[in-house]
A and B are shown apart, each in its own frame.
Chain A
């Protein structure tokens, strides 16, 4: 079930809101929210519900067992058991096909084909997100940073809560524990207003902005050979904007829905295209994932404590895994490595005092590198990515005016320029300070109506595939 579908907005959400606020007893409300979230998940494919339930059960039991014992060896064993199950399931469903395919490819390249079976395993939606949610819980309990809950419904609600289940934000138990322990009794006007505001902002970003860019961007990426310098940059910038408005739109919807059912989620995007260096970009883009990989990968690897060389190696490993998290494909791996290299190079240059002083120059350079990296992220193959990147540096020359008119419809150009300026200048949804007046409410409602009117054929969110 997509947030941007009639069945969700008019079929699922109203009864869930009524049910949530009608149930004042904590256990009943958490049970209701858990069941509603499971139904939300099963709507897509009920066969994968047991998979999520098994992850939930394993981590719930493991966390309690870790907490109960003081013996470090037993604590380690429980943690390893939990991580093995989580990563095993993630590895099988997400990476087994890729691994077998790669092995087969390497074998063929070396002249010794291994003839491994071609696996067509269906990727359970949201598995990367709920696995990371759940893993962070057991790790935090093992690190003694979080006290595990004995209340099973608090835990099932934490893992399954429908606003973040499919595509984040990746929430930590520490974020939600106080909210689960003492749920709000009534839906306040403030929560309803803020929930509506975020939900509508998300719908507008997704349906009226990202989805309007999508067909033009797809057409450009479908024929890379036809692109020249301008077309290639338009494709790259168009996709970067599409991805930002799509994913940050989803995150806004998740935050809005959370407010409407009495929860608060962390910010996931903070105007990433205003970043002034690669490190700044990752503090602003998909913030919940950045924080996750920092806390559970980069720092355990040694972080930046072991000298510049080891820091660069740690960054490369971390970003390689972050790339792989996005999908089992060479393009994602290379995209991660490019970011790892950029972070490392920037760190070295910064220490040497060789980074530009002008904020504007830093911003332009960072934006150009992020946009170029997204070409690798979006392209179906490295070959296509290479072609488009080549065109971006002028290998295909500049298109004639006639070709440009055919490649870039006026509507697309206007939208592209407007959104580019918007993303660079305007405050984001977390910064926007509109006063909650009736007039703004009417404007928000009109924007919601326009977004709902464009739902007819729902486009899935880009991050659903991860």
Chain B
């Protein structure tokens, strides 16, 4: 279906016609075909129908997701969440610990592959992995304080995995809702925010809700990810990890595209986002520990792209950590470039998460570079 009127409005580029005439032609097509087809009443019905049906559908989706609450954002608690609530699991495991862990692993899902048994082989010290999905500095702070409360007179040190954003001041709703965390979070509470509304009218939440509903109908509401007593993942859980991508190349491609669209300059790391991070560092130092801060590894091609674009964010992260080192005692081990510690590109679960093989290689490097902080 060719159209002639709109294209005629724009003169042919290598004009075969007189150029002077082309110069005069500044008018362009401003009237779409749809404008010719209805009267005011029809257009009013059309516009109102569109607006009403959009709002009704979004409201229905929001209601469904709030009721099922797949990410535990609304606190409905009618059904188990689609996301592993590993904060509760880890706090349960800490309650059951019989001996003080001498090394505690902190961080997000990127730290979950660290096995305390392997760390014990390297250092001779017992450990516990307190890393949680989407773990923020507030999560780490609560884990540190809960373990300390469990073993008040024992000493321990920490390996804390962070991204180049270092920390945020956000508190995960699952954490905020756990009564064991509230003594350490003060009166900072979180409710169902506008951002959560955005999440709950989205496809991901809706898909997760249907997954939860289907699982419950089939009678298997419980999650498939299991932890050992030392907080490490069981071997059988590896295949169910949400970060385990079907196609590594595809997640790398997505990450590359995301970085290509980021401004080259890094957004300022404000002091607010470091509140929980600094609070935890101060507390660890006050209790005799020198934590090891590990900058998480980045998939090699993504890392090369970041370097080509000036590496503003990694540079800013290192500068921020150096600034903090004037006030707090900790060791920084930069593992972003996997060639430093012999990492392999194939041993990634996705563009940002290493698997257990790479984690072991990295832990060897971390222990060797910890300047005695890990013993």
Structural contact, A215 and B250, CB atoms closer than 8 A:
yes
Determine the residue in chain A with the shortest Cβ distance to B37: A435
A contacts with B: majority SS: helix
Structural contact, A454 and B14, CB atoms closer than 8 A:
no
Q: Does A244 contact B (CB under 8 A)?
A: no
A307 to B143, CA, bound (A): 79
Question: What 0/1 readout, one digit per residue, does chain A (166-202) give for beta carbons within 8 Å of chain B?
Answer: 0000001011000000000000111011111110100
Q: How far is the CB of A461 from chain B (nearest CB, A)?
A: 9
A288 to B12, CA, bound (A): 13
Contacts of B30-51 to chain A: CB distance below 8 A? 30-38, 40-51
Q: How far is the CB of A58 from chain B (nearest CB, A)?
A: 22
Structural contact, A287 and B249, CB atoms closer than 8 A:
no
Chain A hits for B52, CB < 8 A? 445
Structural contact, B46 and A271, CB atoms closer than 8 A:
no
Q: Does A73 contact B (CB under 8 A)?
A: no
Stretch at the interface among B3-11, B85-93, B117-125: B3-11
- A side interface size, CB within 8 A: 96
Structural contact, B249 and A347, CB atoms closer than 8 A:
no
Determine the residue in chain B with the shortest Cβ distance to A406: B247
Contacts of A331-355 to chain B: CB distance below 8 A? 343-344, 347
Q: How far is the CB of B253 from chain A (nearest CB, A)?
A: 3
Question: What 0/1 readout, one digit per residue, does chain B (1-24) give for beta carbons within 8 Å of chain A?
Answer: 111001101111111100100111
Structural contact, B47 and A304, CB atoms closer than 8 A:
no
Q: How far is the CB of A256 from chain B (nearest CB, A)?
A: 10
Structural contact, A433 and B34, CB atoms closer than 8 A:
yes
Set B19, B28, B40: member contacting A188, Cβ < 8 A: B40
Chain A hits for B254, CB < 8 A? 214-215, 218-219
Q: Does A267 contact B (CB under 8 A)?
A: yes
Q: How far is the CB of B66 from chain A (nearest CB, A)?
A: 15
Set A197, A200, A284: member contacting B7, Cβ < 8 A: A284
A59 to B77, CA, bound (A): 60
Set B22, B48, B53, B257: member contacting A295, Cβ < 8 A: B22
Set A120, A197, A464: member contacting B34, Cβ < 8 A: A197
Set B16, B23, B49: member contacting A441, Cβ < 8 A: B49
Q: A218-B254, A436-B42, A436-B45 are in contact. Are A449 and B57 (CB under 8 A)?
A: yes
Structural contact, B202 and A218, CB atoms closer than 8 A:
no
Chain A hits for B57, CB < 8 A? 445-446, 449
A318 to B19, CA, bound (A): 15
Structural contact, B13 and A294, CB atoms closer than 8 A:
yes
Determine the residue in chain A with the shortest Cβ distance to B261: A460
- B side interface size, CB within 8 A: 73
Chain A hits for B47, CB < 8 A? 189, 192-193, 195-196, 441
Structural contact, A274 and B2, CB atoms closer than 8 A:
yes
Structural contact, A196 and B201, CB atoms closer than 8 A:
no
Structural contact, B33 and A430, CB atoms closer than 8 A:
yes
A23 to B40, CA, bound (A): 22
Structural contact, B13 and A456, CB atoms closer than 8 A:
no
Structural contact, A279 and B14, CB atoms closer than 8 A:
yes
Q: A198-B32, A219-B249, A294-B22 are in contact. Are A442 and B10 (CB under 8 A)?
A: no
Chain A hits for B58, CB < 8 A? 449, 452-453
Chain B hits for A304, CB < 8 A? 14-16, 19
Question: What 0/1 readout, one digit per residue, does chain B (97-118) give for beta carbons within 8 Å of chain A?
Answer: 0000000000000000000000
Chain B hits for A284, CB < 8 A? 7
Q: Does A12 contact B (CB under 8 A)?
A: no
Q: Does A28 contact B (CB under 8 A)?
A: no
Question: What 0/1 readout, one digit per residue, does chain A (451-466) give for beta carbons within 8 Å of chain B?
Answer: 0111110011000110
A284 to B1, CA, bound (A): 14
A21 to B47, CA, bound (A): 17
Q: How far is the CB of A196 from chain B (nearest CB, A)?
A: 5
Set A6, A294, A442: member contacting B50, Cβ < 8 A: A442
A303 to B1, CA, bound (A): 31
Q: How far is the CB of B208 from chain A (nearest CB, A)?
A: 12
Contacts of A419-459 to chain B: CB distance below 8 A? 425-442, 444-446, 448-449, 452-456, 459
Structural contact, B206 and A453, CB atoms closer than 8 A:
yes
Structural contact, A190 and B28, CB atoms closer than 8 A:
no
Structural contact, A438 and B29, CB atoms closer than 8 A:
no
Q: Does B169 contact A (CB under 8 A)?
A: no
A143 to B20, CA, bound (A): 12
Structural contact, A432 and B33, CB atoms closer than 8 A:
yes
Q: Does A138 contact B (CB under 8 A)?
A: no
Q: Does B204 contact A (CB under 8 A)?
A: yes
Set A192, A221, A290, A452: member contacting B10, Cβ < 8 A: A290
Contacts of A195-231 to chain B: CB distance below 8 A? 195-198, 200, 214-223
Structural contact, A465 and B261, CB atoms closer than 8 A:
yes
Q: Does B154 contact A (CB under 8 A)?
A: no
Set B19, B53, B261, B264: member contacting A445, Cβ < 8 A: B53
Structural contact, B51 and A270, CB atoms closer than 8 A:
no
Contacts of A289-329 to chain B: CB distance below 8 A? 290-291, 293-295, 298-299, 303-305, 311, 315, 318
A18 to B61, CA, bound (A): 27
Structural contact, B261 and A120, CB atoms closer than 8 A:
no
Q: Does B265 contact A (CB under 8 A)?
A: yes
Set B2, B11, B54, B249: member contacting A294, Cβ < 8 A: B11
Chain B hits for A460, CB < 8 A? 261
Chain A hits for B55, CB < 8 A? 445
Q: What 9 pairs between A and B have smallest CB-CB spacing?
A: A441-B49, A445-B53, A193-B43, A266-B28, A218-B253, A219-B253, A436-B46, A449-B57, A189-B44
Q: Which residues of A contact B (CB under 8 A)?
A: 6, 45, 120, 122, 140, 143, 145, 172, 174-175, 188-190, 192-198, 200, 214-223, 255, 264-267, 270-271, 274, 279-280, 282-284, 287-288, 290-291, 293-295, 298-299, 303-305, 311, 315, 318, 343-344, 347, 406, 409, 425-442, 444-446, 448-449, 452-456, 459-460, 464-465
- 9 more A-B contacts (CB under 8 A) besides A267-B30, A279-B12, A445-B49? A140-B26, A192-B47, A266-B28, A290-B10, A406-B247, A426-B1, A427-B3, A433-B33, A446-B53
Of the A-B pairs whose beta carbons lie under 8 Å apart in the complex, a sample of 28, sorted by A's number, is A174-B27, A196-B47, A215-B250, A216-B250, A218-B250, A222-B301, A255-B32, A264-B30, A264-B31, A266-B28, A267-B30, A288-B28, A291-B28, A293-B13, A295-B26, A298-B13, A315-B13, A427-B3, A429-B32, A430-B3, A433-B34, A436-B34, A436-B38, A438-B49, A441-B49, A446-B57, A449-B54, A449-B57
